[in-house]
Structure formats: C-alpha cells, structure tokens
Amino acid sequence: MVDQLEARRGGLSCPEGPLTRIANAEHESGGGGTDHPPRPGAVGMLLATGEVVLTATGRMTSPFPPVRLGTSRAVTSTVRAAAAWLLHNAAEEALARGNLFARRQFLLALRSPRQADTDSAECFLFTPRDNMPTGQVACPTVRPRPLHSEHP
C-alpha cells in the first residue's frame, strides 16, 4: 500500500490495488454517489465518497466517509473512517432488526475495531438472512463412548 503511494509520488506506474480502485470509483462517480438512486450493497463492494447503498433489508446507509489517498496518514484515516462507518451502520441495522445483542457488539467494537469486527459488520449489513450461516456444525455429531464397558 505504501509502495503504491510512493510510486504515485515518483511518477512511476503502480499496479492497480484496492486503493487505486477506490480512487477510480470515486473519480468515475464524480466524487459523490448522490446523483443516482441507492444501489444494493454487497460484501466487498467499493464505495465512493458520499455514496449511499441499501442494506440486505432494504434500509439506506449513511453516506460513505471521504476517501483521501494523498499521504500514508490520509490512507490510515480513510481506513479508520470506513471501519467506523461500517460498525455504526451495522449497529443501526441491528437496532432496526431488533437485535440488541448484535447492536451492543458493534458499538463496543467502535472503540478499537479489528478486521473481524468490520468483516462481521459488512456481513451483517449486506448478506441476506437466507444466506447467513446458521451455526450448524459441518461434521455430524460424534456419539460419546460409554465410560464403562458392558462386559465385565
């Protein structure tokens, strides 16, 4: 990531990475996504500054925070703002669904978000309920062996 920024400053061509795609998406959409009606959100989709998307239940998110890629500090700030945006919108979605447990978890994660927190928030926001993991175990249950043998 830092190499890509250094390559930009030096005028070298850099491979297209996730930050380049975000900048291109912002440039193509004119910097804000308010011109078009909100599109359905998806896990892993790229958003531009100010873009509003629909959650899996059809609710609109708040506008995406500004995307700044000028310096390493600006990139870090953008990543933190995107994580806070995901967690805040996931908490609001959980409240709308009546899931107070998930809401509390997302609000607690706002203090110091980890990758797992943002991944679960993104999944909660944009994965339809029919595709959510159900908690079923992948392997069949194992029957416990008897403690005492039946034969003396």
Look at residue 34 and tell me if it is in a domain: yes
Domain membership flag for residue 134: no
Question: pTM for the whole thing?
Answer: 0.65
What's the total number of domains in the chain? 1
CA 126 to chain centre: 9
Q: Cα(47)–Cα(31) distance, rounded to whole angstroms?
A: 10
In this predicted structure, what is the pLDDT of residue 61? 93
With respect to residue 143, please indicate whether it lies within any of the assigned structural domains.
Answer: no
> Do residues 107 and 86 lie in contact, with contact meaning Cβ atoms separated by under 8 Å?
no
Long-range contacts of 126-130 (CB under 8 A, 24+ apart): 126/40, 126/41, 126/42, 126/43, 126/45, 126/55, 126/56, 127/43, 127/56, 128/56, 129/56
Residue 21 lies in a domain: yes
State the CB neighbour count (10 A cutoff) for residue 139.
5
Supply the pLDDT for residue 65.
95
pLDDT of residue 143: 61
Please tell me which residue, 31 or 98, carries the higher pLDDT value: 98
Could you tell me the residue range of the domain that residue 20 belongs to? 2-129
140 located within any domain: no
